[in-house]
Chain A
Amino acid sequence: MRVLLTIMVVFTALQFAGAASADPAQSDPVQALGLEDRARADRLFKMVRCPICVGHSVAESDAEVSKSIRHYIEAEITGGSTDQEILQKLVAAYGDDILFSPRLSADTFFLWGAPLFFTALGGVILWRFRVRASSQRRTS
């Protein structure tokens, strides 16, 4: 809840800042971030799901809520939060499904293990081919 409130406050503040400033380039946080922070923000945008649209990250969405999440992330970066802290706060506000890449937990264990599990399964099946093939060669 506190995060939601922060987002609203930050968003409103940014709007006022925009209204007060004559030069919009100054008010637009897009310009305010340094090159490295800009890349960080872009990376985080792509990890966060737009809460109201389907299948898009906030980087791709023009919905108001996505805009405010973008501004929130930018403000948090400027404020010195780490990536983990920012994502943590978003999860606390919106739930686990705000992240496109689910955290490892008992629930998601099989999800993350899927490639290894299927490779192992396939490997065993392949191995049986090999064994059969070579034993066949030995007997023939």
Chain B
Amino acid sequence: MLPEIGHLALAIAFSCAVLQGLSVIPSVRSLSFERLGDVAAIAQAAALTTALLLLIASFIQSDFSVLLVAQNSHSTKPLLYKIAGAWGNHEGSMLLWAVLLGFYGAAFALINHLQRDERQIAISVLGVISAFTILFLLAASNPFIRLDPAALDGRGLNPLLQDPGLAIHPPVLYAGYVGFAVPYAIAVALLFTKNFDRINVAEMLPWIFTPVAFMTLGVGLGSWWAYRELGWGGWWFWDPVENASLLPLLTGIALAHSAMVWKNRGGLAHWTLFLACAAFSLSIFGAFLVRSGVLTSVHSFAVDPARGAMIFSFFVLLAGSGLGLALSRMRAAGSVWGFALLSRETAMLGGILLLMVSAATILTGTIYPIILEAVGSAPVSVGAPYYNVTVTPILFALLVVMTCAPLIRWRDHELKTLAKELRAPLGAFVGVTIIAGLFSPMTAFQSMLFGVGVACFVAAAAAPSSGRPRGGYQVKWKRRDFGILFAHGGFAVAAIGVLGTAFLSNEQIVSVKPGDQVSMAGYALTFQGVHRYEGSNFTGERADIILVKDGGARESIITPERRWYPAAETTTTEAAIKRSLWADLYVTIGDLSVPGATEPDWALRLYHRPFISWIWAGCVIAFFGAMVSALGFFGAIKRAPAPKTKTVSGYEVAPAK
């Protein structure tokens, strides 16, 4: 019964979305009332939430008469993974996507002070986007299809996905992906009405910073999951799906900064609107890459060309109308703003350029193999070595630009003042480079890069204190300073983590018998042997390793494992990680098959990963930074006076301050 109600709820949500999409048409509006679209948006969100809750209920009850549950769940699965399993598959994750889109639509309907025409167009655009998503659910990925006769038990969830990281990674990441729908809708509305008035940017800002924050956290969570669960001691693989998430993230960050230039200086209005269209188009493009099967990866769900064709047509519609509209209005949006060569504007433009170049390069690398295959050339693979050469240097340059930019004032800035402000970061650079060069295994060049990373952190931390007209330091911080401090400081912390891990890591593979001792990265490890045990839905082989720090007496035990999941016929590696602020010791086991030996020896893979926790710590800090900014911008909308009823049909050139 529950799945049928869920199915009905989806159908109701679809009708609401269609009504919301049509609400912009004057005759529809005159038939009912002005806020029809807003009410439809809220009703749609409620209906979608009901559908998702009912799907989760089917998973909790292990109702194997529902096809999706039978394919992806199992009666012995722990409760957390029964719930999270609801979105650990294509259909369920699309439903989660639609629910979050509904939430954003409802929230936007409640919190905005746009003028009437713009608001109604934006609401209607969101309705069209929702309608397409729900249509896709109903037509090509219905999660509520019944199975007759019901299965005796389910096939189980991919064991790799049975991890707390999975429970939160998709919701957080999707809150990023779909969030870009709101700036897209506002941008289309402003482009359509040719309203490039500067006051409108305040309406966009919170809807830009919120998805950027969630996207940052979501990408960080994904990387953390990969590190713990995949058992290679790596944290980023330049997997096509990881790339698909970087595209809207990088574009979204560029959009956020372009919008800040518009807000503060009145320039870049058309660029902001263009980037808003690009960010959401790339979100959908990412969904297409992941779900169509043109690229295969760990993340790919069941592959179906028909689904791919549907998402691709939707992408073409969105990108075509949004970007087409933005490009056709480029000239109309010309604005007047002057700035000197050394100014915040230059730094922001440089940062936006670097972000867009890295996004464009990642896009090229990701789709290049598909294009070559399509034109019939010899196939190529584009992987980590390509991106490390092309994208990593751009992101490093970005780090320097972004951490220095807040030190520089708008309009113009004196070189002398900047030099004064850069004294602390330069000092940090020299100090760290010398210390790292002398006392660590880093080469001179690596020490310098690491020094730059630390200097950027110092620059980011110093930024809120600078900015007085004559240089020097101010003590009183404003709320928005915290946003910049955390967002940029977090990025710098992550960069220190990335550099430290890249330059200082080492690893070894050893074969051991019970009683053997190995030393690694200042620890003595004593291998005690392996024993088997039965888990709730798997058979495990757990090694006990006694860990003693060199020169210390305190013993701790770490237990790397290998698990066999019979329901899914899969083996997973559960790494044991000894964490500390400065370095992780990451241990996995596997058997070293030596034919003929009576008792197999065990292979221990030991990875020493200095600074690796800093990467995720940085993501969390940056998330808070972007959220502080987003909440501040929401507050600004609430405090702003209600919009005038007068509609602006033409456009106004924003005056230079």
A residues engaging B (CB < 8 A)?
Answer: 15, 18-20, 24-25, 27-28, 30, 42, 46-47, 49, 54-57, 59-60, 62, 95-102, 107-108, 110-112, 114-115, 118-119, 122-123, 126, 129-130, 132-134, 136-137, 140
Kindly report which residue of chain A lies nearest to residue B378, judged by CB atoms. A96
Kindly state the separation between the CA atoms of A111 and B234 in the bound complex, as whole angstroms: 25
* Stretch of B92-100, B125-133, B380-388, B531-539 with 4 or more beta carbons under 8 angstroms from chain A: B380-388
Is B509 part of the contact surface with A, judged by Cβ < 8 Å? yes
Q: Report if A115-B511 is in contact (Cβ < 8 Å); known contacts: A108-B380, A122-B356, A133-B339.
A: no
The 5 closest A-B pairs by CB, nearest first: A100-B383, A101-B385, A19-B596, A102-B380, A137-B338
* Stretch of B171-179, B361-369, B577-585 with 4 or more beta carbons under 8 angstroms from chain A: B361-369
B356 touches A111 (CB 8 A): no
Kindly report which residue of chain B lies nearest to residue A61, judged by CB atoms. B232
Is B592 part of the contact surface with A, judged by Cβ < 8 Å? yes
Q: Report if A55-B594 is in contact (Cβ < 8 Å); known contacts: A46-B384, A96-B378, A136-B338.
A: no
A57 touches B298 (CB 8 A): no
B349 touches A126 (CB 8 A): yes
How far does the Cβ of A19 sit from chain B's closest Cβ, in whole Å? 4
B592 touches A54 (CB 8 A): no
B338 touches A107 (CB 8 A): no
B residues engaging A (CB < 8 A)?
Answer: 230, 232, 234, 237, 239-240, 267, 296-298, 334, 336-339, 341, 349-350, 353, 356-357, 360-361, 364-365, 368-369, 372, 377-386, 389-391, 394, 507, 509, 511, 590, 592, 594-597, 601
B385 touches A47 (CB 8 A): yes
A residues near B349, Cβ cutoff 8 Å: 126, 129
B residues near A24, Cβ cutoff 8 Å: 511, 592, 594, 597, 601
Partner among A102, A114, A134, A140 whose Cβ is within 8 Å of the Cβ of B360: A114
How far does the Cβ of B405 sit from chain A's closest Cβ, in whole Å? 15
A114 touches B353 (CB 8 A): no
A residues near B380, Cβ cutoff 8 Å: 96-97, 99, 102, 107-108, 111
Kindly state the separation between the CA atoms of A75 and B365 in the bound complex, as whole angstroms: 32
A114 touches B338 (CB 8 A): no
Q: Report if A111-B368 is in contact (Cβ < 8 Å); known contacts: A19-B595, A129-B349, A133-B338.
A: yes
Kindly state the separation between the CA atoms of A28 and B591 in the bound complex, as whole angstroms: 13
A residues near B230, Cβ cutoff 8 Å: 60
A residues near B296, Cβ cutoff 8 Å: 54-55
Q: Report if A115-B386 is in contact (Cβ < 8 Å); known contacts: A100-B381, A107-B372, A107-B377.
A: no
Kindly report which residue of chain A lies nearest to residue B596, judged by CB atoms. A19
How far does the Cβ of B384 sit from chain A's closest Cβ, in whole Å? 6
Kindly report which residue of chain B lies nearest to residue A47, judged by CB atoms. B385
Q: Report if A54-B381 is in contact (Cβ < 8 Å); known contacts: A114-B364, A118-B361, A129-B349.
A: no
Kindly state the separation between the CA atoms of A74 and B592 in the bound complex, as whole angstroms: 17
How far does the Cβ of B253 sit from chain A's closest Cβ, in whole Å? 15
A residues near B389, Cβ cutoff 8 Å: 101
A118 touches B360 (CB 8 A): yes
How far does the Cβ of A14 sit from chain B's closest Cβ, in whole Å? 10
Q: Report if A111-B378 is in contact (Cβ < 8 Å); known contacts: A18-B595, A24-B511, A100-B386.
A: no
Kindly report which residue of chain B lies nearest to residue A21, judged by CB atoms. B594
Q: Report if A118-B356 is in contact (Cβ < 8 Å); known contacts: A101-B389, A140-B338.
A: yes
12 more A-B contacts (CB under 8 A) besides A114-B361, A114-B365? A24-B592, A57-B384, A99-B381, A99-B385, A100-B381, A101-B382, A101-B385, A110-B364, A111-B382, A114-B360, A114-B364, A140-B338
Q: Report if A46-B338 is in contact (Cβ < 8 Å); known contacts: A18-B596, A107-B372.
A: no
Q: List 23 A-B contacts (CB under 8 A).
A: A18-B596, A19-B595, A28-B592, A46-B384, A59-B232, A60-B230, A95-B378, A95-B379, A99-B380, A100-B385, A100-B386, A101-B382, A101-B385, A107-B377, A107-B378, A111-B364, A114-B360, A115-B361, A115-B391, A115-B394, A118-B360, A129-B267, A136-B336
Partner among A46, A115, A132 whose Cβ is within 8 Å of the Cβ of B357: A115
A residues near B381, Cβ cutoff 8 Å: 49, 97-100, 102
Q: Report if A119-B353 is in contact (Cβ < 8 Å); known contacts: A100-B385, A111-B364, A111-B365.
A: yes
A residues near B378, Cβ cutoff 8 Å: 95-97, 107
A residues near B364, Cβ cutoff 8 Å: 110-111, 114
Kindly report which residue of chain B lies nearest to residue A56, judged by CB atoms. B237
A residues near B341, Cβ cutoff 8 Å: 130
Kindly state the separation between the CA atoms of A115 and B361 in the bound complex, as whole angstroms: 6
Kindly state the separation between the CA atoms of A23 and B350 in the bound complex, as whole angstroms: 60
B residues near A96, Cβ cutoff 8 Å: 378-380
Partner among B232, B357, B509, B601 whose Cβ is within 8 Å of the Cβ of A60: B232
How far does the Cβ of A125 sit from chain B's closest Cβ, in whole Å? 8
How far does the Cβ of A50 sit from chain B's closest Cβ, in whole Å? 10
B residues near A49, Cβ cutoff 8 Å: 381, 383
B386 touches A102 (CB 8 A): yes
B residues near A111, Cβ cutoff 8 Å: 364-365, 368, 380, 382, 386
How far does the Cβ of B507 sit from chain A's closest Cβ, in whole Å? 8
Kindly report which residue of chain A lies nearest to residue B268, judged by CB atoms. A129
How far does the Cβ of A121 sit from chain B's closest Cβ, in whole Å? 8
Kindly state the separation between the CA atoms of A66 and B154 in the bound complex, as whole angstroms: 32
A residues near B383, Cβ cutoff 8 Å: 49, 55, 57, 100-101
